[in-house]
Structure formats: C-alpha cells, structure tokens
Amino acid sequence: EVQLVQSGAEVKKPGESLKISCKGSGYNFTNYWIAWVRQMPGKGLEWMGIIYPGDSDTKYGPSFQGRVTFSADKSISTAYLQWSSLQASDTAIFYCARQTDYSSSSRTINWFDSWGQGTLVTVSS
Amino acid sequence: DIQMTQSPSSLSASVGDRVTFTCRASQSISKYLNWYQQKPGKAPKLLIYATFSLQNGVPSRLSGSGSGTDFTLTITSLQPEDFATYYCQQSYSTPYTFGQGTKLEIK
C-alpha cells in the first residue's frame, strides 16, 4: 500500500525557521515526483511545486519561489519542505502528494494519487 | 499561469440527486484535468484523472467529461458520503493550478 506520512503540527514564531517532512512507503520513492500543496485556513488548494527524489530536481510555483525550499533524502524515502524565516501568512496546512506520470505520444500527463495526512503550521507571535 | 475557474462555488442537493460541477481553464489544456474530493479535516482524494479516468475504488456514479477549456464532473444518484468540496486541477503546464473549489452541501 502506498503511504505518505507527514510530520506533526508545528507552532512557530515569525522569523523562525522550520523543516517539515513527508515519508513515503509502499513504492519506489525515487521514481515519483512529490508535490507540496498549501491550504490556508478556510481556503482552497494551492500547488507549491514538486521535487523528484531521484535527482532532487525541483520546480517551484511563482508564488513560492524563493520563499520555501524543497529537498529529499532518497536513502530514507523522505521529502522536506522548509522555510528560513516564517511569516504569519505562512499559517496553513501543507500536504505532500505523490505525482504519478503517464507518457502519451505528445506529452506527459500526471495526477496526485496519494496524499499525506497534512501538517498544520501555525505562525504566531 | 493557467487559471482554473469552478462553478458554482457552492451547491445544495439532496441524496439521490444528479449534480454537475463545471471547471473552466483560461487556455486550452487538452485532456489534462484532474478532479479531487476533500472532506473537512481530511486530505484531498483523487477521483478522476486525465478528464475521464476513474481512480481505483471510486464509484461509477462519478464521471468526467470535457476537453480544451471546459470540463465537467457529474455525480448521479448522490450518496451521503458525496457531500464534500470538489477541486479541479490542470496538469498541462506548471504551475499545476487548482480551481477554487465547489462545496456540495446537503439540502
């Protein structure tokens, strides 16, 4: 069974750093992109970007480029999302998700077929 | 970036009803459209990928259609477990944007 298990809830102060994790099991972790998705309180889903654990290739959404960093340790099947200086506006639930790709004749199609349970990050002074 | 717009924002229906959700892309995305369901306090769940394909375990009363810029998710014979928020998402080009969601409520 494919599973993504995320680290627990965090409460931080503005300006602090943070690294949350997403551990995959039940599949070859290095062969699938991992996506990060933000959900601010009472709001919808926002695609933050993706990382390929096999070679740590990353793609960031424009709203998140320079604000967060994705990393992965394929030896322990874990992806990370980190901030160097949190702001109150970073308060949200963050989900990781496995991206499954299918290559058709023209381009690759993909979807998020397994999700972590989410990590609530609260940033407050 | 490709903008995804869902309508309506909310919808009230009864058990047994047929409902249709609409998702429109700001430019053609061919068939690269996925649908997710999210219940309160839970992670999203994949329902349909590549416009038409039902994810394993998803009941056949759900179906997807469309191409280009206009897409629909249809649920026939609503069941109590279907009341949730539904999101579309394009996977044509990064950033893989989501629609703002449609909340399906019990009438």
Flag whether pLDDT at A106 surpasses 90: no
**A63 and A6 in contact (C-beta within 8 Å)?**
no
Could you tell me if A79 lies within 8 Å of chain B, comparing CB atoms? no
Flag whether pLDDT at A104 surpasses 80: no
pLDDT for position A39: 98
pLDDT tens across B23-54, in order?
999 999 999 999 999 999 999 999 999 999 99
Count of C-beta atoms within a 10 Å radius of residue B75: 21
Could you tell me if A113 lies within 8 Å of chain B, comparing CB atoms? yes
User: How many Å apart are CA B94 and CA B91, to the nearest integer?
Assistant: 7
The DSSP secondary-structure symbol of A105 reads: S
| B32, B44, B94 ranked by CB distance to A45: nearest | B44
Which of B45, B96, B97, B100 is best to mutate for the A interface (most A CBs within 10 A)? B96
- The rounded percent of chain A whose pLDDT value lies above 70 is 100
Q: How far is B27 from chain A (nearest CA, A)?
A: 17
User: How many Å apart are CA A87 and CA A16, to the nearest integer?
Assistant: 8
pLDDT for position B27: 98
